[in-house]
Amino acid sequence: MIGVYGMGGLGKTTLVQEVGRKAEKDNLFNDIVFVEVTETLDVKKVQTEIADKLGVEFNNESERASKLYERWNSGKKILLILDNIWEDLDLKTIGIPSKMDHGGCKLLLTTRNVDTLEKMGSTNHFGMGTLNEGESWSLFKKMAGNCYNPF
């Protein structure tokens, strides 16, 4: 489980999407699943998105978490990216293994608050900060190209 945290608008989502693209290009996982969690957690919606991307079908509501949980232990390597987590998620309730029972699943999480990652058991966190003035000016000039001339 790896977490990326920082204030809104820094590019956490862009970063983890690029990680997913690179992992897919390098064939590091059998399946790569990206799900946006959002501020108002809808467990059923998260479960449905994961299931759709992994080809898991539910016969009834009571088996949602257990069917997803079984899928993680199918022997395939899966990267699950949970983006925009606002509060501590009970992964087991959703059907996502955590800690030692993760099977072939790797979790990549994004949130604004490092405390959320710690409550979920993540021990590998990467904080994203803002650019300093020199870095931001350099990026601006690079992106603006020849269309900007201050003199």
Domain around 42: 2-147
Mean of pLDDT values over 95-122: 83
pTM of the complete model:
0.84
Residue 6's pLDDT is 92
| 23-55 pLDDT per residue, tens | 999 999 999 999 999 888 889 999 999 999 988
How many distinct structural domains can be found in the chain?
A: 1
CATH number for the domain that contains residue 70: 3.40.50.300
Q: Which long-range contacts (C-beta less than 8 Å, at least 24 apart) are formed by 30-36?
A: 30/76, 30/77, 30/78, 30/104, 31/76, 31/77, 31/78, 31/79, 32/78, 32/79, 32/81, 33/78, 33/79, 33/80, 33/81, 34/81, 34/83, 35/80, 35/81, 35/82, 35/83, 36/83, 36/84
